[in-house]
């Protein structure tokens, strides 16, 4: 789900319409926005406030917890009257206007979170209606309304539709559904990067394989959102020609399985970081592989994360912990014992404590912390210096391979 271009930096100079929430360390915007009460994390929320809050609430509900009322109220308070969400509004009491930069990614993430928490049907319906109203003629969505469609934005919207019980295939404009858009970004098997999805065509119309877009596309093709469990094994383990969402998903899964086969992780494509693992993209890939029934490569990638991703999550903040929790959930692992630490304790320590387990939600397998019973509610780790825009650039960056 990481949209990979230098989005936050572009947003800072007023051209966020071409970008999206992202993944790689970058300079903090100045002046920094104050972190309001109820919001998880300590870093500047300007570019990822709604995104990180939404992932946090989804992760907590997946574990069976009821998020704190203050945390949910903060998210609902970010919604504009037309149903949309911006990345962050410092003064939510002020009505949204033409200067408010709303986007599909924040809105679709909030839909998934508010649907998961329950009791916000009106807000969810308005948000979904707004998303439908800004669907592009090719069936997809861009980051900002009217922007060119891309695989990541389309996928997070599909996740929102699916989470609320809508059939993404029935959401059409000009006769095109989001699955038509995904198919247009799927690279044929006989071409370089066959099976993968591109983020979007380049200026010449050429498609370039993008692992992050592929992970997002696999989940969307399977009709999944942020939360997914192990699916049935694919009919074909290698890229195969064919039509339809299932073929898009299986071909994308084959590409991702090959990408993590040797090392268990994806590499960063950010300048100067080519030989460094991309933990956020790897976590998303775990979920995609598991959902596509490729449990062996999914577990291999998760094992790599369990061994190496702890410091990254501590530095990056709540959305990183949420990504790892959702990865653990997808492979049936225990987030209460992630390489000797508890992802759950660490996440919950970054904001208002969630309530006890909901009777309506089934707790995850590691609800007692696995072999570390009782640690979930102990004092969490302290964050390394908040990096504000750095999370956006380290968890959601749109970038071409």
Average pLDDT over residues 347-358: 88
The pLDDT score that the predictor gives to residue 272 is 78
DSSP alpha helix (H) spans, 98-176: 104-117, 121-133, 151-163
Note if the bond before 25 is cis, omega within 30 degrees: no
pLDDT band at 363 (very low <50, low <70, confident <90, very high): very low
Q: How far apart are CA 64 and CA 61, in angstroms?
A: 5
Q: DSSP letter at 160? A: H
All residues at 6 or more sequence positions from 119 whose CB lies less than 8 Å from its CB, including other chains: none
Q: How far apart are CA 320 and CA 21, in angstroms?
A: 13
Q: How far apart are CA 120 and CA 375, in angstroms?
A: 31
Nearest 10 degrees: Cα torsion 153, 157, 162, 168: -90
103-147 tens-digit pLDDT: 999 999 999 999 999 999 999 999 999 999 999 999 999 999 999
Are 16 and 144 in contact by the 8 Å Cβ rule? The answer is yes
Q: How far apart are CA 275 and CA 268, in angstroms?
A: 7
Pairing of strands 65-66, 85-86: unpaired
Residue 308 CB neighbours (<10 A): 15
All residues at 6 or more sequence positions from 42 whose CB lies less than 8 Å from its CB, including other chains: 35, 317, 350, 383, 386
Closest CA to 79 of 56, 99, 54, 96: 96
End-to-end CA distance of the chain: 15
Q: Does the pLDDT of residue 63 top 60, yes or no?
A: yes
Least confident of 49-63, 225-239, 256-270, 368-382: 368-382
Question: Average per-residue pLDDT in the chain?
Answer: 85
Are 25 and 387 in contact by the 8 Å Cβ rule? The answer is yes
Q: How far apart are CA 209 and CA 117, in angstroms?
A: 35
Q: How far apart are CA 304 and CA 296, in angstroms?
A: 13
Domains of the chain by range and CATH?
A: 7-395 (1.50.10)
pLDDT band at 1 (very low <50, low <70, confident <90, very high): low
The pLDDT score that the predictor gives to residue 357 is 63
2-38 tens-digit pLDDT: 443 333 333 333 333 333 343 333 333 444 688 999 9
The pLDDT score that the predictor gives to residue 32 is 67
The pLDDT score that the predictor gives to residue 356 is 74
Are 263 and 301 in contact by the 8 Å Cβ rule? The answer is no
370-387 tens-digit pLDDT: 323 222 222 233 333 333
């Amino acid at each position: 789900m990481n949209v990979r271009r230098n989005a936050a930096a572009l947003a800072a100079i007023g051209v966020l319409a071409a970008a999206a929430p992202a993944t790689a360390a970058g300079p903090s915007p100045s002046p920094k926005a104050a972190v309001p009460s109820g919001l998880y994390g300590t870093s500047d929320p300007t570019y990822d406030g709604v995104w990180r809050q939404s992932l946090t609430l989804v992760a907590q509900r997946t574990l069976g917890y009821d998020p704190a009322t203050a945390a949910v109220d903060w998210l609902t308070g970010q919604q504009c009257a037309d149903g949309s969400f911006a990345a962050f509004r410092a003064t939510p009491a002020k009505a949204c206007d033409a200067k408010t930069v709303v986007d599909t990614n924040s809105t679709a993430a909030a839909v998934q979170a508010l649907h998961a928490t329950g009791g916000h049907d009106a807000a969810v319906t308005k948000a979904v209606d707004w998303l439908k109203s800004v669907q592009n003629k090719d069936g997809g969505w861009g980051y900002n309304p009217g922007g060119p469609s891309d695989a990541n934005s389309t996928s997070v919207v599909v996740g929102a539709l699916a989470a609320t019980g809508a059939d993404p295939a029935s959401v059409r404009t000009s006769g095109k559904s989001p699955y038509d858009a995904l198919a247009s970004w799927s690279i044929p098997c006989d071409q370089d990067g066959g099976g993968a999805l591109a983020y979007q065509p380049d200026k010449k119309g050429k498609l370039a394989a993008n692992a992050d877009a592929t992970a997002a596309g696999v989940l969307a093709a399977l009709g999944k959102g942020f939360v997914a469990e192990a699916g049935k094994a694919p009919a074909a383990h290698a890229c195969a020609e064919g039509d339809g969402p299932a073929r898009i998903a299986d071909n994308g899964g084959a590409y991702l399985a090959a990408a993590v086969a040797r090392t268990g992780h994806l590499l960063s494509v950010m300048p100067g970081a080519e030989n460094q693992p991309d933990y956020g993209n790897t976590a998303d890939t775990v979920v995609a592989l598991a959902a596509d029934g490729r449990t062996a490569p999914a577990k291999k990638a998760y094992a790599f994360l369990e061994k190496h991703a702890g410091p990254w999550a501590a530095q990056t903040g709540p959305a990183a912990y949420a990504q790892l929790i959702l990865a653990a959930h997808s492979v049936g692992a225990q987030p209460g014992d992630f390489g000797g630490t508890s992802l759950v304790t660490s996440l919950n320590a970054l904001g208002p404590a969630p309530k006890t387990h909901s009777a309506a939600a089934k707790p995850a397998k590691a609800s007692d912390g696995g072999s570390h019973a009782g640690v979930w509610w102990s004092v969490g780790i302290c964050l390394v210096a908040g990096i504000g825009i750095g999370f956006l650039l380290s968890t959601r960056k749109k970038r071409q391979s």
